[in-house]
Amino acid sequence: MNTDVLIIGGGMAATWAAIAAVEGGASVVIVDKGYVGTSGVTATGGPNHWWVAPDKALRREAIERQTAKAHGLGDPEWMARIIDLTWRYLPTLAPFYPFGGDGKGGTYYSGVRGSEYMRALRDYALSVGVVILDHHPALELLADQEGRIVGARGHALRGRQDWEIRAGATILATGGVAFRSGLLGSHTNTGDGALMAAEAGAQLSGMEFGPSWSISPAWASTRTLPYTAARYFDAAGSELNIPPPRTGHLHNQALGRALLAGEVFADLSEAPDELKPILHRIQPLTPAPFVRRGLDPFRDRFPVKLFGEGTIRGTGGLRLIDADCRTSVRGLFAVGDAATRELVAGAASGGGAVNAAWALSSGRIAGAAAAREGQARQRAPAAIRLGKVGLHPEAEVRSLDLGAANARINHEIHDYDRALWRREATLKQTTLTLDTLWRDLSRHGHATGADLVRLRETVAMTANARWSTAAALARKESRGLHERFDYQDTDPRLATRLLVSGLDTVRVTAENSQLEPA
């Protein structure tokens, strides 16, 4: 199969990119690991978009506020672009999404419910002629003799056949990595795009900024809307001293410490009265884990846990080298959570509104640029397959326990002690554990078909975990979402982005080489 633009991934950034690429005159194919409409964390979520009217003073103030929140790593020009693109393009979804009133006689655009939003984006993409291949996970990128990306190969899960697509330009829109924490909707978020790009030599940036956390019933991850006013109790019924959500890291540390000591119970009875009768209308999925256990979430106390979000509400991802969302590999673009969001979120979480605006805007930008590039390129005659670990073992093939490996990776990244009290000793232990796992996968991992898809997910999570750990070790300070217990202050000399790259050997460098980490 041949196309001008190939998009790997099927969430909001992928679909916005596809629509923009078609508008640019390109033929476009989306390959998604799941189903475009339900895949990824948007479908079960409710993205709010950064929404600022085109008024010079308002936008300047919004950008100034966001620049201050970005801890020295944001880029005001990028912020201005995404505010503008979001304002212009989100309303174009109106034929497919039932935007309601804002209570003031206007339309409420900025916040959308994920299930309807992703359904609308699918319908919009199909209506303009995007070819969508669901359940078509990509396994490796293809390059020409000069190292330029010319497409990808993968496996069609329902047809049980391998596929190969040649493209003039390729966009990675594979989302962030949740490391199989159980975070709602994140099972497919295993960082496959970053792995494939790294095999082509791409760099990542901002991998130390995370994780953030979602509080949920211990038996099921939900959205956090009903919990912001929660009180917390230990198993004996004594109220716990949990500093309020506004204290951010401290709030999570207090919960994490209590969870390591025993069960923690939430009491939501002090949630806003207005919310109680309408929660199911705002977030129909949120009450289900309670109702289906015969519980009333606003009356009954229930055990909770913190679900780690990996890089999803963090900011790390593939480094972009220009204003068109190109990665450091020719022919390869990255968008949404697969790309670094430091340009607009800096060191802080982009969750809330900036990440959604980023997904839409980076999708639009890369889609337009890839359309130009993809149509201009002649299709390469020969292609080199870039995939390595899981495809070409270095030693004898062994059967590997992927479930155990995935649980280990999640533990290394999201164990409360390690993640909430980041420090050199445990980061070094994690490095050793993950290096050993990487070596085992490199030497012995081999599979085909759907088994290869699962193996490559584990490989991708291992690689992403190693990059996150290496960046977290290198940044000997606290900044934004990166909180080091052994370096609690922000070091003005480290106001630079950290780039990570490499697979067998992971390298960390400062983007501004005059500001080297110690």
Partner 1 sequence: MIAQIFEEACTNCATCVTVCPTLVLEEGAKTPVIARADACQTCYMCEVYCPSAAIYVAPDQFARESGPFPLAAANLGVIRHDHGWDRPGEGDHLAVYGRLGPLLGEGVEIATRRYARDFGEAPGRGAIPVPAG
9 binds partner 1 (CB under 8 A): no
Q: Segment near partner 1 (CB under 8 A), from 60-68, 272-280, 335-343, 356-364?
A: 272-280
Q: Which of 284, 323, 504, 516 binds partner 1 (CB under 8 A)?
A: 284
List CB contacts of 399: < 8 A, sequence separation 6 or more: none
Binding residue (CB under 8 A) for partner 1 from 126, 133, 282, 510: 282
What is the rounded CA–CA span in Å between residue 91 and residue 81?
A: 16
Under 8 Å between Cβ of 410 and 307: no
Q: Does 243 bind partner 1 (CB under 8 A)?
A: yes
Closest to partner 1 by CB, 416 or 438: 416
Residues 6+ apart with CB under 8 A from 518: 476
* Smaller CB separation from partner 1, 319 or 418: 418
Minimum gap (Å) between residue 6 Cβ and partner 1: 20
Q: Are 183 and 175 in contact (CB under 8 A)?
A: no
The residues, any chain, with a CB within 8 Å of residue 1's CB and separated by 6 or more, are 29, 163, 164, 165, 166
State the Cα–Cα distance between residues 27 and 371, nearest whole angstrom.
8
Contact window for partner 1 (CB under 8 A) among 82-90, 181-189, 191-199, 383-391: 181-189
Decide whether 251 or 385 has the Cβ nearer to partner 1. Answer: 251
Span from 124-132, 193-201, 239-247, 311-319 in contact with partner 1 (CB under 8 A): 239-247
- Measured from the CB atom, is 27 or 478 closer to partner 1? 478
User: What is the smallest separation between the CB atom of 168 and partner 1, expressed in angstroms?
Assistant: 28
Which stretch of DSSP H or E encloses residue 161?
strand 161-172
Cα–Cα dist 386/204, whole Å: 18
User: Interface with partner 1 includes 408 (CB under 8 A)?
Assistant: no
Decide if 9 contacts 173 (C-beta within 8 A): yes
Nearest approach, Cβ of residue 119 and partner 1 (Å): 9
Q: Which is nearer to partner 1, 285 or 515 (CB)?
A: 285
Site for partner 1 in 46-75 (CB under 8 A): 46, 48
- Residue placing its CB nearer to partner 1 in the complex, 56 or 160: 160
Interface region with partner 1, contact rule CB under 8 A, candidates 167-175, 194-202, 252-260, 390-398: 252-260
Select 185 or 310, whichever has its Cβ closest to partner 1.
185
Residue 35 in contact with partner 1, rule: CB under 8 A: yes
The interface region with partner 1, picked from 62-70, 265-273, 323-331, 335-343 by CB under 8 A, is 265-273
Cβ-contact 327, 321 below 8 angstroms: yes
Least Å from the CB of residue 494 to partner 1: 17
Contact 233, 239 (CB under 8 A): yes
In angstroms, the Cα distances linking 154 to 1, 135, 161, 198, 456 are 12, 10, 9, 17, 11
Pick from 92, 94, 151: which is nearest to 364 by CA? 92
Residues 6+ apart with CB under 8 A from 18: 5, 7, 28, 30, 125, 130, 363, 367
CB 302, CB 217: distance < 8 Å: yes
294-313 residues near partner 1, rule: CB under 8 A = 294
For partner 1, the binding residues in 74-133 under the rule CB under 8 A are: 98-103, 108, 111, 113, 115-116
Answer yes or no whether residue 3 interacts with partner 1 by CB under 8 A.
Answer: no
Q: Is 184 in the site for partner 1 (CB under 8 A)?
A: yes
**For residues 253 and 468, which CB has a smaller minimum distance to partner 1 in the complex?**
253
Find the binder of partner 1 among 9, 24, 168, 226 (CB under 8 A): 226
For helices 424-444 and 449-474, the axis angle rounded to 10 degrees is: 150
**What's the one-letter identity of residue 501?**
S
Near partner 1 in 188-207, by CB under 8 A: 188
> Is residue 219 close enough to count as binding partner 1 by CB under 8 A?
yes
- Measured distance CA(315)–CA(428) in Å, rounded: 22
Residue whose CB is less far from partner 1, 100 or 381: 100
187 lies in the site for partner 1, by CB under 8 A: yes
Q: Is 316 in the site for partner 1 (CB under 8 A)?
A: no
Shortest Å distance, C-beta 101 to partner 1: 8
Interaction between residue 250 and partner 1 (CB under 8 A): yes
Give the number of other CB atoms < 10 A from CB of residue 343: 28
Single-letter residue type at 106: G
Interface mask (CB under 8 A) for partner 1, residues 333-372, using x and -? ----------------------------------------
Query: How many residues lie near partner 1 (CB under 8 A)?
Result: 84
Could you tell me whether strands 149-156 and 161-172 are parallel, antiparallel, or unpaired per DSSP bridges?
antiparallel
Partner residues linked to 303 by β-bridges:
265
